Amino acid sequence: MNIAHVVPYSIKFPLDSHNGRYDWVLQLASLQTQRGHTVTIYCNPGSAIDNIRTVGIEHATEDKEHNNLETFRAALRNNHDIYHSHFDDLHYKVAHETTKQIVFTQHWWPKDSVIKLADLNPKNVWAVPPTQYMYDFDIQSGIRSKGFIHHGIDLELFRVRHAQKNNRLLFVGRISPEKNLETALAVSKRSGIGLDIIGKVAEKNLPYWNTLQSYIDGEQVRYLGQKNHQELVGYYASALAVIFPADIREAFGLVAIESQACGTPIIMKRGGSRKELVEEDKTGFLCETEDDFTAAVQRADTLQASACFEFAKRFDIHTMVEKYDNLYKDLLAI
């Protein structure tokens, strides 16, 4: 098949730092190439990827949506069999410009704008939710889909042998209010177990980050900034547990699977699709309250790394790629 992946104009490959969403796109495209497909990624024109063609528009403006629309239209002008979008709603705005099928992986929880545009009922746009929970929401909301495909990771990239645990908690993710980092900080203080924080602080979230500075003492709580993949894997593997207190409805939560793939349990806020991402009381815990989180942290060392490894196998990226291949074939037969 001749496959086009379309990402925002701002995304330049190779990535400067770890970005779960676009690392995932690159892995999918690379594995599709290995399977014999012709793959093009439409992205920033300064990109360069071995064995994958990249295309970007030549004349960008200060208008981000304009740049993204023109990037998508550049893809549509070429003769691809299938278009795979990594936007939340942009594909709906250009669907009428092609008769080809467009799939979009739902990297974000559907906004109202997505639901409104889906209600226009374009026949050639198909959502691919990464969980059963999100698929059920899509169907109830009128978003066309042929089923969910769990996100996958390359388990070999997270395989760690004989990691030495450091008896510290780890938080990985964007530093933003919806991630509830303050819960992780409170649990660290109550349990007496140290906390390491890895993640980006965007300029818009600096006021929130500033409210937490009194907790960051460099010993009990350490902010480590952003890390590359190899560094991140090391922190995953050495942590007592990864804590994920966000209570927002998220599309997936790669951190949960990456943690377990490194043999480290995940402690998450209960709700949404979280029950699909952990084997409760065996590879991690689902919590309601701060008390629950504190109790879970104190039980984390009773969980076995081998159980975490085994659960993570359900999310092997090769299984995911096979399912996308089958989806594409089904759509091409329409």
Q: Are residues 117 and 232 in the same domain?
A: no
Q: Are residues 206 and 282 in the same domain?
A: yes
| Domain interval for residue 268 | 155-315
Tokens 């060392």 correspond to 301
Q: Structural domain tally of the chain?
A: 2
Which DSSP string corresponds to 200-243? ---GGGHHHHHTTGGG--SSSEEE-----HHHHHHHHHHSSEEE
* Integer Cα distance of 26 and 37 in angstroms: 14
Copy the structure tokens of residue 159. 């395989």
Q: Are residues 124 and 197 in the same domain?
A: no
Percent of the chain at pLDDT > 90 equals: 88
Q: Which of 290, 311, 312, 301 is nearest to 168 (CA)?
A: 301
Degrees, nearest 5: CA angle 131-132-135: 90
* Integer Cα distance of 22 and 305 in angstroms: 28
Q: Are 311 and 278 within 8 A, CB to CB?
A: yes
pLDDT in tens, 167-196: 999 999 999 999 999 999 999 999 999 999
Q: Are residues 114 and 175 in the same domain?
A: no
Which DSSP string corresponds to 148-169? -----B-GGGG--SSPPP-SEE
Q: Are residues 30 and 136 in the same domain?
A: yes
Q: Are residues 74 and 135 in the same domain?
A: yes
Q: Are residues 170 and 231 in the same domain?
A: yes
Q: Are residues 160 and 134 in the same domain?
A: no
Q: Are residues 320 and 295 in the same domain?
A: no
Give the global pTM.
0.89
Q: Are 197 and 222 within 8 A, CB to CB?
A: yes
Is the pLDDT confidence value at 284 over 90? yes
Q: Are residues 291 and 322 in the same domain?
A: no
Degrees, nearest 5: CA angle 206-179-144: 120
Q: Are residues 85 and 138 in the same domain?
A: yes
pLDDT band at 59 (very low <50, low <70, confident <90, very high): very high
Q: What is the CATH number of the domain that holds 37?
A: 3.40.50.2000
pLDDT in tens, 20-49: 789 899 999 999 999 999 999 999 999 999
Three-state DSSP at 14 gives coil
pLDDT in tens, 91-144: 999 999 999 999 999 998 999 989 999 998 899 999 999 999 999 999 999 999
The 8-class DSSP code of residue 274 comes to G
Q: Are residues 102 and 190 in the same domain?
A: no
**pLDDT value, residue 18:** 67
